[in-house]
Amino acid sequence: MDQPPPLRFDQLFRLMMWTHWRALIAQVRGVRRQSPLLLFVLSGFVAGYLLVGYWLFRTGLQFLYNFPLVGALLSQRILFLIFGFFFVMLMFSNLIIGYTTLFKNSEAQWFLSMPVRHRDVYRWKFLEALVVSSWALIFLSAPMMAAYGHVQQVPPVFYAQVTLLYAPFVVLPALLGSWLVLGLARILAQPIVKRLLLIGAAAAVLLLLFAVRPVTDVEATKAAEVLSFEQLLKHSRLSLNPLLPSAWLAKAVLGWAEGLSTQGGFYFLVLLANALFGLLIGFEIMGKFFYSSWTHSQSSRAAQFQRDAENKRRPERRPSLLELSLGWLRSFSPPTAALVLKDIRVFWRDPAQWIQFMIFFGLLCIYVVNLRNVAFDFSSPFWEVTISYLNLAASALTLSTLTTRFVFPQFSLEGRRLWILSIAPVGLQRVLLQKFWLSCIAATAITVALMVASSLMLNLPWSKVGFFAVAIALMSASLSGLSVGLGALFPNFKEDNPSKIVSGFGGTLCLVVSFLYISLFVALVALPDVRRVTPKIQFALPSELAFGLAISMSLVLLFTPLALAMRRVKRLEM
């Protein structure tokens, strides 16, 4: 019997676009019908971010432009840095999402069993990862570019030009990320890679603890004596490299904003030419290596599972280090220990998960190390209070990213296996509590260590270090309860990609509520110190009431979503 001819890419593209469009319409209608209040809250957050972001960017840019002599240069350098940061983040985002969509997605496996060319599967999955990873760039930079255009007094066509400029720009980091995925897929499943990365992370922590020291008073005085404008800008010279696509984007934006249409058009064509050439290489050459990388990844994973199964059947098998570390928990509650062991192993066996965690961990180390360069005069109480509470806010925002990205999708990732847990003696309610305690302990350990290290880098007294450690521990418990609770209230059992689960309605709501909670909590706990260093400003709220409100809000955020989630999972068991 003759096999049907393979589906052409244009046919596949139209079919999948129609499918995704119909699914999007159905999802929006379902949200409007089931949760109109939450849709209203989400729309209000989007509008609020656009308005507040526009106001903040406009105020900052106007302040820079009014700075004598160097205001224009500073604003331009910041533009180069922001676009350079976007480029690096887009490359990492495409690498992680590309690995999940190409090698861990059931839809990709289904495509490979159909009469579709393998490189066409790679093309479609590349475009899917490009859209998922790049839409946030447009959303985040929209108020910035609107504020920049207002300050520069640009014509309306400038905004259309910048929107068109983004199209080839986002393609380049997506191409680099997808090419790295094809090579890394062959080695990420190897156990030695995980061990090397774990050793590297431990070495980074030891280096952070023993090699980096806070800035002393003598070093701060010397830094203030030699400080110059050129030294302030020397660390940003890398963003001006003419070979970086982010520099082409910044030069095109600056050219169009200043009325230099020739310069803007030239760098737009440079971006477009490189993006088209990269697509040609990616679609016609790199796409041919996709199937071999996919088979190698699957075979490596299957071989690892076989080795694990053989090791478990051996009578003389020794327990692993993870099993030994959970031995104390097994003596108290064997089912809980088994569930914790399962979650940790599932996380460790998924390269997309632990790679993101390694990147997240590396950014935390960079943040703490760079606090050493914050040379300020702590004899000024105002700046001591300002910077210390900004550090608390930064650590809390890091915590919200950690809980939203890694904790919220945990219940949904059980997927079709949820019925096994529902008929198990432990019950879904106990499973939910286990996920909360595991995430709470892990988040508290990471964020308290981050807070203590950053506070010591800022030379804060031990009383303040303890206060901030307790505050971030309380926020860790509250945000863990929020993420676990909302993850069970808004599950997505049909999706096996954590990034797509988080980008859904429930994940967005979790992130919005986390940001609002962090803003209110930091403002309330900072009120007594702010009142002390700014006696001219009067606050009607007493300090004791501010602390009480912060603690009460944390407890409500901790118990309310968990209580609602417990009621929901109890109905799932019936």
Tell me the pLDDT band of 233, cut-offs 50, 70 and 90: low
Coil vs helix vs strand at 7? strand
Tell me the pLDDT band of 207, cut-offs 50, 70 and 90: low
The pLDDT of 40-65, averaged and rounded, is 77
Give tens-digit pLDDT for 244-265: 888 888 888 888 888 788 888 8
Residues 6+ apart with CB under 8 A from 405: 356, 360, 498, 502
Which of 66-80, 97-111, 143-157, 300-314 has the least mean pLDDT? 300-314
Phi and psi at residue 448, to the nearest 5°: -65, -40
User: d(Cα 498, Cα 92) in Å, to the nearest integer?
Assistant: 15
User: d(Cα 264, Cα 16) in Å, to the nearest integer?
Assistant: 35
The answer to whether residue 488 scores a pLDDT higher than 50 is: yes
Please report, rounded to a whole number, the percentage of residues in the chain having pLDDT higher than 90.
0
| Residue 131: HSE in the Cβ half-sphere, 13 Å Cα cutoff | 9
pLDDT score for 226: 45
CA angle 348, 354, 360 (to 5 degrees): 150
The pLDDT of 81-101, averaged and rounded, is 81
User: d(Cα 16, Cα 169) in Å, to the nearest integer?
Assistant: 24
pLDDT, greater one: 410 or 505: 410
Phi and psi at residue 88, to the nearest 5°: -65, -45
The answer to whether residue 368 scores a pLDDT higher than 80 is: no
Neighbouring-strand partners of residue 7: 116
pLDDT score for 3: 60
User: d(Cα 506, Cα 510) in Å, to the nearest integer?
Assistant: 6
Residues 6+ apart with CB under 8 A from 192: none
pLDDT score for 247: 86
Residues 6+ apart with CB under 8 A from 357: 406
pLDDT score for 243: 85
Contact 446, 402 (CB under 8 A): yes
Tell me the pLDDT band of 31, cut-offs 50, 70 and 90: low
pLDDT score for 317: 57
The H or E element containing residue 80 is: helix 71-103
- For the chain, which residues make up each domain, given as ranges? 71-134+156-185+225-305, 336-574
Coil vs helix vs strand at 116? strand
- Chain position carrying tokens 């997505």: 492
Among 151-160, 349-358, 369-378, the range with the most confident prediction by mean pLDDT is 151-160
pLDDT score for 379: 58
- Chain position carrying tokens 């014509």: 155
Which H, E and C letters describe 126-174, residue by residue? HHHHHHHHHHHHHHHHHHHHHHHHHHHCCCCHHHHHHHHHHHHHHHHHH
User: d(Cα 563, Cα 558) in Å, to the nearest integer?
Assistant: 9
Give tens-digit pLDDT for 170-179: 888 888 888 8
**Measuring CA to CA, how many Å separate 87 from each of 110, 149, 191, 264?**
32, 21, 30, 19
pLDDT, greater one: 111 or 323: 111
The H or E element containing residue 75 is: helix 71-103
pLDDT, greater one: 330 or 394: 394
Which of 89-98, 285-294, 534-543 has the least mean pLDDT? 534-543
Residue 178's nearest CA partner among 251, 282, 257, 67 is: 282
In the chain, % helix, strand, coil (3-state, to 5) comes to: 85, 0, 15
Which of 173-187, 211-225, 227-241, 345-359 has the least mean pLDDT? 211-225
- Report helix angle 71-103 to 245-257, nearest 10: 130
pLDDT score for 302: 58
**Measuring CA to CA, how many Å separate 344 from each of 438, 485, 541?**
9, 20, 44
Residue 378 DSSP label: T
The answer to whether residue 375 scores a pLDDT higher than 60 is: no
pLDDT score for 333: 66
Residues 6+ apart with CB under 8 A from 83: 239, 246, 247, 249, 250
Amino acid identity at 16? M
The answer to whether residue 329 scores a pLDDT higher than 70 is: no
pLDDT score for 38: 62
User: d(Cα 282, Cα 215) in Å, to the nearest integer?
Assistant: 47
Q: Is 95 exposed, middle or buried (0-12, 13-18, 19+ CB in 10 A)?
A: buried
The pLDDT of 260-283, averaged and rounded, is 87
pLDDT score for 419: 65
Q: Is 492 exposed, middle or buried (0-12, 13-18, 19+ CB in 10 A)?
A: buried
Task: Read off the tokens for 436.
Answer: 């909360």
Among 192-196, 306-310, 437-441, the range with the most confident prediction by mean pLDDT is 437-441
Provide the H-helix boundaries in 228-350: 229-234, 245-257, 261-284, 290-313, 321-325, 327-332, 334-349
Residue 518's nearest CA partner among 469, 471, 465, 453 is: 471
CA 187 to chain centre: 24
Exposure letters 20-30 (e unless 16+ CB within 10 A, then b): eeeeeeeeeee
pLDDT score for 201: 66
Alpha-carbon dihedral 129, 133, 135, 140, rounded to 10 degrees: -170
pLDDT, greater one: 261 or 297: 261
Tell me the pLDDT band of 227, cut-offs 50, 70 and 90: very low
- Mean pLDDT score of the chain, rounded to an integer? 76
Residues 6+ apart with CB under 8 A from 59: none
Terminal-to-terminal C-alpha distance of the chain:
49
pLDDT score for 154: 81
Contact 150, 60 (CB under 8 A): no
pTM over 0.75: no
pLDDT score for 209: 58
